[in-house]
Amino acid sequence: MDSWMGLLKKDFLLMKNRFLVFLMLDLLAFGLGWYLHIKEIGFLNNPSLNWVMNENDFIKLIPLAIAIGLHVLFISFYVFMSLRKEGKQLHLWLHNPQSAYVLLGSKVVNGLIALIISLIFSFFLFFMYFLPILSELGPHIGDLTKLIMYASTNIIFASLVIGSAILFFWVLYHVFKSRIGKWSLLVILIVMILFIWGMSNFQATDIYNNLVLRGEINIEFPSFEALNFVESNVMDVDQGEDFVGLYVFNVLIFAVLFVLSAWMIEKKVEV
Amino acid sequence: MITFENVSKTYITQKALKDINIELPKGKIIGIIGENGSGKSTMLKLIAGLIRPTKGFVKVNDIQTNRRVSEIVTYLSELDAYYAMYTVKQTMDFFATQYKDFDLEKANQIMKFMKLEPSQKVKNLSKGNRGRLKIVLSLARDVPYIILDEPFSGLDPMVRESVVKGLLSYIDLEKQTVIITTHEIQEVEALLDMIVVIRNGQIIDTKSVEKLHEQEQMSVVEWLKNVYENAPA
């Protein structure tokens, strides 16, 4: 337990400054939203309007919404940066009696914790936009919470899968590096392109659909029903559907890539 | 005992070791001597399980080495590698969490002996003090095999002296074996029990230092000159 906590702490401290930069970027997106809002409506001329959510004032939400969406790449960036630091002194990281599962697990768990903190912070900032109209949100609070949880779950799953792919490619790069030297980067880029191409082709097949489109989950947001009519278009924003199979597939992809990465660290990577 | 059985190691196209066969006995301080690029560091990395032989086997206590041999082998790299965010004390604490045999009390003793300041950030230490810290981390483990790759590299004579004294004071040869590579032969001559001379990836000779002194009345440096003159280039 001590060794695991020691590794977690080390990996956190290794990335502490980078993590603060991630949080600053969330804050920057929040600030950019305000800037766009003020540019659109004017701050000095109509100070009271700054706190009002106008019908056409969704522009304020866009930067932070994009930033929240980009969290799908969070774990991959975080884990890659952490591994890159270790890569510069591989023997220090690998001369350790802990298994590769533990060494890599600590990186992923750190990334996951940092992602969750950054998501909470981003949603908190998002919530700040709605503070002036909090009383009007009363009936929607339950559905909003459900929506945030749903979005967060999907972001976390996607981030873990992309993160495990980056982890896998980083380890594979180090396997190639000791065997083919300077060509390893080129080879790894080709392997990455083939992997993405293969996955996207596989996702277009019936086999994939039969595999993942199982265990339908209907998610309803009844209080959003009034929002279904947006500018005369009918949109089903009050409901969505998802599949347990998709989550199982993502977990399997994550597990396979993680196990392969750990195996290569133990058996193939050299310092 | 550490055994090399027909070990060859090739890096991409460069052959670093060629059919090495040697047994390194327990309870000795063994110096591996050779020019730059002769294969010394490769031998140590193979013992530490950080690289794998292209051919043959490297065994520590009859078990083929891999990365996890670090449970019984401590490896000090020639490279200046450390976690920059830690202080000296935090580095020792971190090592204590990773190695069951890391003796924090002994680490503190060696740290004081080496005149290191526990609160100082590792990234702010001088090269000499970082070298001392690496010695602290290596010797504080109660581990059967201590592998030191160029522990004196780039260190001034004062630091080298304190490292040698540290080795003398904190190694228990009844339980521990030390394998050291160095160019500073004169400075470690008094420590060494055995020398292995390596050139172009091949072992060209091995010698007991005691026999060398008593029977041949030669210093290690003199003997090395003879060995190099008589060995094929």
**Tokens 């074996």 found at:** B177
- Cβ within 8 Å of B, A 72-101: 88-92, 94-100
d(CA A72, CA A161): 9
Long-range contacts of A262-267 (CB under 8 A, 24+ apart): A262/A99, A262/A100, A262/A101, A262/A104, A263/A100, A264/A171, A264/A172, A264/A175, A265/A94, A265/A100, A265/A103, A265/A104, A265/A171, A265/B67, A266/A99, A266/A100, A266/B66, A266/B67, A266/B68, A267/B66
Q: Which residues of B touch A9 (CB under 8 A)?
A: 94
Q: Which pLDDT value is given to residue A156? A: 97
Query: What are the pLDDT digits (tens) for B32-67?
Result: 999 889 999 999 999 999 999 999 999 999 999 999
CA-wise closest residue to A166 among A92, A68, A82 = A82
Structural domains of chain A, count: 1
Instruction: Look at residue A229 and tell me whether its pLDDT is greater than 60.
Output: no
CB B188 within 8 A of CB B153: no
Give the residue with greater pLDDT, A224 vs B197.
B197
**A47 and chain B in contact, CB less than 8 A:** no
Look at residue B149 and tell me whether its pLDDT is greater than 60. Answer: yes
Return the pLDDT at A133.
73
User: Which residue ranges make up each domain of chain B?
Assistant: 2-228
Lowest mean pLDDT among A128-137, B187-196, B207-216: A128-137
Give the domain extent around A180.
2-267
Contact A95 B81 (CB under 8 A): no
More confident call, A228 vs A105: A105
Q: Which residue has the higher pLDDT, B26 or A60?
A: B26
Q: Residue B12: which of A7, A16, A180 has the nearest Cβ?
A: A180
Chain A environment of B100 (Cβ under 8 Å): 97
Q: Which CATH superfamily is domain B2-228 in?
A: P-loop containing nucleotide triphosphate hydrolases (3.40.50.300)
What pLDDT, on a 0 to 100 scale, did the predictor assign at position A236? 63
- Check: CB of residue B74 under 8 Å from CB of residue B141: yes
**pLDDT of A230 strictly over 70:** no
Task: Report the percentage of chain A scoring pLDDT > 90.
Answer: 68
B75/A contact by beta carbon, under 8 A: yes
Higher pLDDT pick, A26 / A146: A26
Which CA distances in Å does A208 have to A165, A250, A253, B38, B82? 19, 12, 13, 54, 46
Decide if pLDDT at A43 tops 70: no
Tell me what pLDDT residue A54 has: 59
Say if B12 is an interface residue toward chain A (CB within 8 Å). Answer: yes
Distance CA A52, CA A234 (A): 26
Q: How many CA atoms lie within 13 A of A114 on its CB side?
A: 35
Q: Residue holding tokens 């109209």? A: A133
For residue A199, the one-letter residue type is M
Q: How confident is the model at residue A221 (pLDDT cuts 50, 70, 90)?
A: confident
Range in A200-209, A236-245, B167-176 the model is least confident about:
A236-245
Q: Give the chain A residue nearest B14 (alpha carbons).
A: A179
Answer yes or no: is pLDDT of A231 > 60.
no
Lookup: tokens for A17: 């400054």
Q: Is A216 helix (H, G, I), strand (E, B) or coil?
A: strand
Confidence of residue B94 (pLDDT cuts 50, 70, 90): very high
Burial (CB count within 10 angstroms: exposed 0-12, middle 13-18, buried 19+), residue B186: exposed
- Give the Cα separation of A93 and B143 in Å (integer): 19
Global model pTM greater than 0.80: yes
pLDDT for res A268: 95
Q: How far apart are CA B73 and CA B66, in angstroms?
A: 11
Residue B63 is predicted with a pLDDT of: 94
Backbone angles phi, psi at B33, to 5 degrees: -115, 140
- Supply the DSSP symbol for A97: S
* Continuous H helices in A46-133: 62-69, 74-87, 90-94, 100-129
Q: State pLDDT tens for residues A64-101.
A: 999 999 999 999 999 999 999 999 999 999 999 999 99
